[in-house]
Amino acid sequence: MEDSRLALVQICPEKGKPEENGAKIISFMKEAKDENADLAVFPECSLTGYDPQRSPELALEKDCIYIQEIEAAADELGMAVCFGFMERDEDALYISQEFYCKGEKTLYRKTHLATREEEYFKEGNDFPTAEYRHITIGMQLCWESHIPQISTVYRKKGAHLLLFPYASGMSGEKCKTNLSIHLPARASDNGCFAAACNLLAEKTGGGLAVWDYKGKLIAEYFGDEEKLLLCDLGGILPREFFSAGISAMHTLSYFDKTRDIF
């Protein structure tokens, strides 16, 4: 896998103020670029704030000016960006995450809604992958991280890095404990890096962490301040050993050795 520097960011967006939130996202993108990051990842609903009940009022169209400004900043800085928003598309509302790189936009619409979201949002049906620096990306939002089949779909599509943007409201040790239960497994089972960032809401919530392709924690921050966390990714993934015909326990590609039993 090609080497890359990832910047995970947790911010506290103001509901109903996408212009200010967009400016904050761009400011952190510039900070990430100053640290030689290739990709900046922001939480679920980082542009609009997370509030299902107010979604008809706060949701944005996918090509609105605030999104265009973030895309333009990414082009100017020469980096990729991933950010979330509540989306309005005609008469439907979605919880969406955009990955943007060099004029290419990939939109993921949350496919599995939490209980409090079902009344307001429509589920997406697609699992698109994004590309940057010859790295394939998959996106799962918040509690979707508990669904291993989604990660498997992305791995079948060649994903090297799984992104898990959250708006969970959990903070500190509770967030750390929750993420540490299942995300290392998403990484290890699929031989992918896994990275999570949680939304701050009125100084609660938050949490940033990255696991390598063996499920080993390599970077974390679980404080309650707006924060940028850097992490260098790269190296030989288990699938590369498998493709080369090398089979040993310390290089085992669990995904490639799995039989289709269903």
User: Does 12 map to a domain?
Assistant: yes
Q: pLDDT band at residue 241, thresholds of 50, 70 and 90?
A: confident
Mean pLDDT of 205-209: 91
Q: Which token pair is 82?
A: 């991933």
pLDDT for 203 beyond 70: no
Gap between the Cα atoms of 252 and 188, Å rounded: 10
pLDDT at 20 over 90: yes
What is the percent of the chain where pLDDT is above 90? Answer: 84
Residue 253 has pLDDT above 90, yes or no: no
Query: Is residue 262 assigned to a domain?
Result: no
pLDDT at residue number 262 = 56
Provide the residue range defining the domain that includes 149.
4-257
How many domains is the chain built from? Answer: 1
CATH number at residue 208: 3.60.110.10
pLDDT tens digits along 85-118:
999 999 999 999 999 999 999 999 999 999 999 9
Give the SS3 label for residue 207: coil
Average pLDDT of the chain is 94
Residue 240 has pLDDT above 70, yes or no: yes
Task: Output DSSP code: residue 123.
Answer: P
**Residue 187 pLDDT > 80, yes or no?**
yes
pTM: 0.96
How many other CB atoms sit within 10 Å of the CB of residue 14?
A: 14
Residue 21 belongs to some domain of the structure: yes
Domain-embedded: residue 49: yes
184 domain-assigned: yes
The answer for 253, left when phi > 0, alpha when psi is -120 to 50, beta otherwise, is beta
Contacts of 46 (CB under 8 A, 6+ apart): 11, 13, 21, 25, 83, 84, 85, 165, 199
Describe the crossing of helices 18-34 and 65-77 by its angle, rounded to 10 degrees.
10
28 found inside a domain:
yes
List, as one string, the DSSP characters of 147-199: -HHHHHHHHHTT-SEEEEEE-----HHHHHHHHHHHHHHHHHHHT-EEEEEE-
User: What local confidence, expressed as pLDDT, does residue 237 receive?
Assistant: 93
- pLDDT at position 251 is 77
